[in-house]
Structure 1
């Protein structure tokens, strides 16, 4: 029996949790996966993660591809894994403005709100497991949320893993298509494939997403926003607060937080065909992490911003697990 076979047979417990946010009437959805046999919990083996500006946790981290998800992978390697949807996304409460036409209200869920919701989730896990620290992970906009949270709460973070985090950009950011911003935007999920593949060289596009994976992703993503399917079939809603923050921070030379204040170990995972966070942005961010205990950059060939859902996703999974597993301590 191979190690993969053994891990695939490991029983995983899944819990879907709802916790109060710091705003009356707004609840946060958290999915927890862990080995069924796990009965002791530790700072080192617990992780809390958050999604990006468009897709919720179920669309990024818990889509079953080739028989398992990213959350499954970490749970089967001995981790107590929590993934949280900030308000307005996935299973968390959508602000009442999201039931109205988008042009009637200003952009919802600014990054500061994301940091608050993520902090609420971290504090919940710390209390639930009687821990002093957890590992945290964020992707894209979620990397900003996780990075900003860590810069303010180094004492609660064991290690920080970031997948293609936002950083200062002197070029337009593709997710911001321009024009006025309403409270949220409608995203045509089924039309995403062309944009997704366009980041890769033309001769490399045919096998970037293995057969059937895109369709599974679309199904899971649409299921994350059932309230949109009656009024807007085939679309999910994504809040525009993160897009406004791109305009007011990242593209005008203003960082939302200072990376050098982060003092914990940091892993940066990036893929070579990422047009949302180009290589030079990742490099600038990485070299700004001067206060980290230690830092590591893993560059994945033949991958885009969505590398966690592509043929080389296991390279990203293994890099993150290896970083979390190790007991490395740099020399003084």
Structure 2
């Protein structure tokens, strides 16, 4: 489905796409936004985005606060933006295990699956636009997926942006609350505001999420999984594969991928108040990106793990846009 929309005076095209996978019966939902005037497609102006371990790309990147989402912002800046939902998330097909009782199966949709689904969509976009590369964006678990993909497919990636990416941790990671992991879990969306605000210092909580934004986000997020309306009102299904991988990799001292194998420019974005990926974890990863042609750090003040949904979101938006905008010569001074 394709439609024209207007965002802050800019004419954009919004397309909803279905992309087949190598698994029978499983296809992926991809939202594409771009300027209506865009006729020439290039690697420098094409972005593929992947989400985190709990919420879909729509929930994290396309809620139009004050009439504009993160995807809208990038599309209005001249980019052809594709945001995929990994299987089991958003409007993509749910694996059979997620249509059954959660305790009947072990955790599903781990990082290997996220990596495969991102690769499927990148290849789809490359073919659709007749390109040899795209830029990639990933947040949190999606940062693992995006980083791992890039480390193994440098030839297909122009630039990489990681927002609060997972990394090795010698202390508990909040998303893993312990205990048995079933195939999937229910997330109480409308009850999540208290936990979200609690990750910020007390003095910053009242102004962190502008009035009405949480309710708008919750409505949008629950609409991403219509199943919840009848079976689990106000809750959302999320796969437990990424949490199993926390136990198998990040808390076990095992790297899922080698950042040193990333050989494209990288921007790492981090929020000052992020307790899910504390600053020392992000810095450790940043130091391992030693073979990138150049790497950049953007620290967003008064922001948590969900910086893209908060009052200082535009600082993150602008840092990401500016990184994608700048040429190699501008950033390094090389000729």
Using structure 1 for the length normalisation, give the TM-score. 0.97
SS of equivalent to 2:108: coil
Matches within 5 A, 1:104-143: 104-143=104-143
1:50 match: 50
1:237 match: 237
- Report the Cα distance in structure 2 between the residues aligned to 1:229 and 1:151, rounded to whole angstroms: 39
The answer to whether residue 208 in structure 2 is matched with residue 208 in structure 1 is yes
1:3 match: none
2:328 match: 328
**1:279 CA displacement:** 0.6
User: For each residue in 1:81-133, what CA deviation from the matched residue of structure 2 results, as whole angstroms up to 9, or x when unmatched?
Assistant: 00000000001000111111101101000101100000000000000000000
- Report the Cα distance in structure 1 between the residues aligned to 2:112 and 2:10, rounded to whole angstroms: 38
**1:228 CA displacement:** 2.1
2:271 match: 271
**1:328 CA displacement:** 2.9
User: For each residue in 1:265-287, what CA deviation from the matched residue of structure 2 results, as whole angstroms up to 9, or x when unmatched?
Assistant: 00000001000000100110000
Unpaired segments ≥5 residues, structure 2: 1-5
Contact 2:35/2:76, CA 8 A, preserved across alignment: yes
**Superposition misfits of 4+ residues, deviation over 2 angstroms:** 328-332
Contact 2:15/2:31, CA 8 A, preserved across alignment: yes
SS of equivalent to 1:172: coil
- Report the Cα distance in structure 1 between the residues aligned to 2:256 and 2:62, rounded to whole angstroms: 28
User: For each residue in 1:156-197, what CA deviation from the matched residue of structure 2 results, as whole angstroms up to 9, or x when unmatched?
Assistant: 000000000000000000000000000000000001101100
Q: What is the total number of aligned residue pairs between the two structures? A: 327
- Report the Cα distance in structure 2 between the residues aligned to 1:229 and 1:289, rounded to whole angstroms: 43
1:94 match: 94
User: For each residue in 1:187-232, what CA deviation from the matched residue of structure 2 results, as whole angstroms up to 9, or x when unmatched?
Assistant: 0000110110011111110000000000000000000000122111
- Report the Cα distance in structure 2 between the residues aligned to 1:17 and 1:299, rounded to whole angstroms: 34
User: For each residue in 1:129-152, what CA deviation from the matched residue of structure 2 results, as whole angstroms up to 9, or x when unmatched?
Assistant: 000000000000000000000000
Unpaired segments ≥5 residues, structure 1: 1-5
1:171 match: 171
Matches within 5 A, 1:1-332: 8-329=8-329, 330=332, 331=334
2:3 match: none
SS of equivalent to 1:230: helix
- Report the Cα distance in structure 2 between the residues aligned to 1:259 and 1:195, rounded to whole angstroms: 31
Contact 1:7/1:77, CA 8 A, preserved across alignment: no
